[in-house]
Amino acid sequence: MKAAWILLILLASAILCTPVAAEETGPRLIVSEYRLDPQVLMKGDVGVLTIRLTNTGPDPATINSARVNGVEVTVKQNPYTDVLSLGSGDSITFTYTVYTEAPDGLYYVKFTVDYREGGQLRYAIPVEVDSTSLRIAVVETPAALAQGMKGTYQVVVGNPRPNAASAVTVTPEGEGFVVTPSSSFVGTLEPDAQSTIPFMVTPLRQSFIRFRVNYRNGINAHTATVTLPLDPSENRFTPELALTGIRVTAGPGYLRISGNVTNIGLDHARAITLTTGGEATPADPFRVFTAGVLEPDRSTPFEVTFRAHTSVSRVPILLSFKDAQGTTYTDSMDVEFDRQALAEQASEPTRFIMLLVWMLVIVLAAVIIYAWRKG
Amino acid sequence: MAFPLMSLLVNPNAFFSRDSSEWESLRVPALIVLAAAIMAGATAYLTTDLVAGIMPSDVQAYQGVMGIVGTIGAVVITFLIWVVWSAVFFVISLFFQGQGTFRRILAVTGYGYLPILIGSVISLVIFWIFSPAIHVSPVTDVQEIQAAVMALMHQPVMILVSVLGIIFLLWAANIWIFGIRYARVISLRDAAITVGVPVALYVIATVWNMGVVS
User: Of A166, A163, A197, A195, whose CA–CA distance to A182 is shortest?
Assistant: A197
CB proximity list for A221: less than 8 A, separation 6 or greater: A214, A215
Give pLDDT, residue A59: 85
- Residue A14's pLDDT band (cuts 50, 70, 90): very low
Give pLDDT, residue A12: 43
Q: Is A367 on the interface with B (CB under 8 A)?
A: yes
What Å distances lie between residue B124 and A205, A289, B121, CA to CA? 57, 32, 5
Q: Are A367 and B178 in contact (CB < 8 Å)? A: no
Closest residue in A to B17 (Cα–Cα): A375
Q: Letter for the amino acid at B207?
A: V
Out of A308, A349, A364, name the one closest to residue B170 (CB).
A364
The yes-or-no verdict on residue B190 having pLDDT over 80 is yes
Lowest mean pLDDT among A104-113, B5-14, B199-208: B5-14
The yes-or-no verdict on residue B90 having pLDDT over 80 is yes
Give pLDDT, residue A327: 80
In a mutational test of the A interface, the residue from B49, B128, B135 whose CB has the highest number of chain A CBs within 10 Å is B135
Question: Rounded to an integer, what distance in angstroms lies between the CA atom of residue A115 and that of residue A84?
Answer: 10
What Å distances lie between residue B122 and A346, A366, B17, CA to CA? 18, 20, 30
Look at strands A270-276 and A314-322 and give their pairing: antiparallel
In a mutational test of the A interface, the residue from B9, B57, B131, B137 whose CB has the highest number of chain A CBs within 10 Å is B137
- Residue B35's pLDDT band (cuts 50, 70, 90): very high
Q: Is A310 on the interface with B (CB under 8 A)?
A: yes
Regarding pTM above 0.90, the answer is no
Say how many Å lie between the first and final Cα of chain B, rounded: 50
Q: Which residues of A touch B13 (CB under 8 A)?
A: 371, 374-375
Whether the CB-CB separation of B138 and B150 falls below 8 Å is answered with: no
Whether the CB-CB separation of A333 and A304 falls below 8 Å is answered with: no
Out of A250, A310, A371, name the one closest to residue B174 (CB).
A371
- Helix H or strand E segment including A198: strand A194-203
Q: Are B133 and A345 in contact (CB < 8 Å)? A: yes
Sign (positive or negative) of CA dihedral B175, B176, B182, B187: negative
Out of B10, B129, B155, name the one closest to residue A371 (CB).
B10
Give pLDDT, residue A4: 46
- Residue B159's pLDDT band (cuts 50, 70, 90): confident
> What ipTM was assigned to the predicted interfaces of this complex?
0.74
3-class SS at A147?
Answer: coil
- Residue A293's pLDDT band (cuts 50, 70, 90): confident
| A219 phi/psi in degrees, rounded to 5 | -100, 10
Q: Are B160 and A354 in contact (CB < 8 Å)? A: yes
The three-point CA angle A361-A364-A365 to 5° equals 85
Neighbours of A194 (CB within 10 A): 16
CB proximity list for A348: less than 8 A, separation 6 or greater: none
Lowest mean pLDDT among A47-61, A157-171, A238-252, B135-149: B135-149
Q: Is A200 on the interface with B (CB under 8 A)?
A: no
Question: Rounded to an integer, what distance in angstroms lies between the CA atom of residue B126 and that of residue A342?
Answer: 18
Q: Which residues of B touch A353 (CB under 8 A)?
A: 126, 130, 160
CB proximity list for B160: less than 8 A, separation 6 or greater: A350, A353, A354, A357, B126, B130
Chain B residues touching chain A at CB-CB below 8 Å:
9-14, 49-50, 53, 126, 129-138, 155-157, 160, 163-164, 167-168, 170-171, 174, 178, 181, 188
HEC string for B102-128: HHHHHHHHHHHHHHHHHHHHHHHHHHH
